[in-house]
Structure 1
Amino acid sequence: MEQPIRLKDNGQINVVLNTMKRGEVSPNSIVETVQKPKHELLVEIDEQLRHLIGMEEIKTMIHEIYAWIFINKKREELNLKAEKQVLHMLFKGNPGTGKTTVARVIGQLFLKMGVLSKGHLIEAERADLVGEYIGHTAQKTRDLVKKANGGILFIDEAYSLGRGGEKDFGKEAIDTLVKHMEDKHGDFVLILAGYSSEMDYFLSLNPGLKSRFPFILEFQDYNVKELMDISKKMFVDREYILSREAEFRLRDFISKAKIENRQHFSNGRFVRNIVEKSIRSQATRLVLESEFNREILMRIEEKDLTVSDKKESI
């Protein structure tokens, strides 16, 4: 019976790999002993993700990205073939679903894994890339990429770059980005974000664009319970509490807004605006009072909760 070879260090592994190529050692006879990693970084990232309500599929994808980078590094250490690490991403979903927050978490993950040297996030939109004359757009885009070197360039509403047709300078911005994605894939990560349907159309304008984004993350709308949890956390973080009646009214606002703005509901932004407006309303109500205590200053009443008469479209 063939006895297994137990590997103890990288030098011995390299010797065995060379003898395998000459047919002197069977692959089945190799048993590698590797100390189980503790993955402190993954625990740290999980702690950040734990504070994000919902987004279970996104959290799973981040775990997969971590595992892929980690194992690729181990393969490189043992002189095994490793996949080319292209980490550009597409974020698809409505506003207020946590896309920018997740981009920041990913930036810190890539920094601590040695993928990016800085891990910072540069946020941009069409106006930051598209110029007013020929050649201006390419220069503006190059400057943004340079600013994002070592980190992430996050372009929101990226589909707007493809809206103007062939003569629009947005196409020049896309072409410049594509070139830098290839030339500098180790220096920065590009994340394009926007509404799902608009992003699908945007990708169809350039057949080669989609293949350059190995990671496509779908950010789902929050349900009513998740939005209530988000709003309560916002109040708690600001040291406010909701009365029972105010909580019922808030739930009613959220439910109606989701139905009326089903296609482009702004999720976390919607509840954040309600939270901030209710705090201002409470202050306006209390400023006329003569006595204050902690409970009065913290309590948000039903009358403090209002929404704009305009259709929610943030």
Structure 2
Amino acid sequence: MDTTGRPLDGSEKEKTGSEPYSDDFGGTVVRPAKGQKSGSAVESVDFAEAVADGEADIQSVVRDARVDEVLEEINRELIALKPVKQRIREIAALLVIDRLRGEMGLGSEAPTLHMSLTGSPGTGKTTVAFRMAEILHRLGYIERGHLVSVTRDDLVGQYVGHTAPKTKDVVKRALGGILFIDEAYYLHRPENERDYGQEAIEVLLQVMESERQNLVVLMAGYEGPMEEFFQANPGMGSRVAHHIRFPDYDVDELLQIAQLMVDKQGYEMSEDAERALRDYIERRLEQPRFAHGRSIRNAIERARMRQAIRLFEAKGKLTKKDLVTLEADDILQSSVFDDNGKDA
């Protein structure tokens, strides 16, 4: 144990990866750390080995915990977002130094790790949440390194006495990892005096304090509603130490995201297709329910489908170039280019 009472040996009460996971927010999801197979565990670093003769080797900790690998993954996965990346790096640095201080007998209060991630849909909040789970686990702050993602429906019951047990069950599954609450402000509905969301908030307030060494709560959503949520629930706001804002992407950044997605899927775009996609993005940005990275991913998927049917109906011989190239027409067929078009 260090001075905060946290284990330093990487021991785990339960291995992660035993439950299914997905990237959406349709309900509770559990995802193991990257590179972690089902039923296996990624051990956290042993800080005792990094301290000798009164000196701490920071580089050995960063190397052994592979924190630098996670930070590089964030750099590769997220286009732009320099302030976000810098904030994650600062948090990682705080955690490393805190653990080294504990190992050298420099007592101090453990850092508060609960966070809020604010920004539009599709700006990388979920990606950062998963990567934070990796960092926290590798540095020994959480035992399992998994992430449980929920919305209001997973926490709030339908009748009197249902909410507290429901919320506590979710918390139990999240212990040793991260509880990610998407659009957390929907828990607070002051216009409805009979709403049970406040009961879920009270349970969360308790566990965010009592289980702070074994549970990290991340709350995500739009910036304005999240600020109102914290103002209406000051106890919640006081328990959240790190507020990370995710700015909207501009057209050029969204094009970079699209190119990254295309490359990963083994496709390429013709020059005309790239111009068509820029036009698509400029139009789509002006339409409702634009979700940045998610909308770009959907647009690429539909372009792939149109390419597939185009090649299928050609009924001729196909070259490798044919199979990997997305043409302008694969994008221009979108209803976004209609006068009253929507994202399709």
For the aligned pair, the TM-score class normalised by the smaller chain equals 0.7 to 0.9
Q: 1:178 to 1:78 in 2, by over 3 A?
A: same
Structure with max Cα Rg: 1
Q: Which deviations, in whole Å up to 9, do the C-alpha atoms of 1:99-119 show, x marking residues without a partner?
A: 011000000001100001111
Q: 1:286: which partner in 2?
A: 311
Aligned 8 A contact 2:284 2:343 in 1: no
Q: 1:254: which partner in 2?
A: 281
1:157 to 183, 208, 213: 183
1:229 to 256, 270, 273: 256
Letter of the 2:158 partner, please give it. E
What secondary structure sits across from 2:79 in the alignment?
coil
1:272 lines up with 2:297 in the alignment: yes
Q: 2:201: which partner in 1?
A: 174
- Equivalent runs, 1:119-138 vs 2, <5 Å: 119-138=145-164
Aligned length: 285
Q: 1:47 to 1:202 in 2, by over 3 A?
A: same
Letter of the 1:213 partner, please give it. V
Aligned 8 A contact 2:56 2:100 in 1: no
Q: 1:36 to 1:183 in 2, by over 3 A?
A: closer
Q: 1:136 to 1:312 in 2, by over 3 A?
A: farther
Q: 1:313 to 1:179 in 2, by over 3 A?
A: farther
- Equivalent runs, 1:130-149 vs 2, <5 Å: 130-149=156-175
What secondary structure sits across from 1:37 in the alignment?
helix
Letter of the 1:44 partner, please give it. E
Aligned 8 A contact 1:265 1:312 in 2: no
1:213 lines up with 2:240 in the alignment: yes
1:204 lines up with 2:265 in the alignment: no
1:44 lines up with 2:69 in the alignment: yes
Q: 1:80 to 1:98 in 2, by over 3 A?
A: same
Q: Distance in 2 between matches of 1:269 and 1:94?
A: 11
TM-score by length of 1: 0.85
Aligned 8 A contact 1:266 1:313 in 2: no
TM-score by length of 2: 0.78
Q: 2:144: which partner in 1?
A: 118
Q: Distance in 2 between matches of 1:159 and 1:151?
A: 22
1:84 to 110, 113, 131: 110
Unmatched runs of 5 consecutive residues or more in structure 2:
1-50
What secondary structure sits across from 1:208 in the alignment?
helix
Q: 2:33: which partner in 1?
A: none
Q: Which deviations, in whole Å up to 9, do the C-alpha atoms of 1:200-256 show, x marking residues without a partner?
A: 111121122211100011011111111101101111111111111111011111122
Q: Supply the RMSD in Å over aligned alpha carbons.
A: 2.2
Q: Distance in 2 between matches of 1:57 and 1:11?
A: 35
**CA positional deviation for 1:307:** 3.5
Q: Which deviations, in whole Å up to 9, do the C-alpha atoms of 1:152-208 show, x marking residues without a partner?
A: 111111111113533211111111111111111111111110011111111121122
Q: Distance in 2 between matches of 1:193 and 1:34?
A: 36
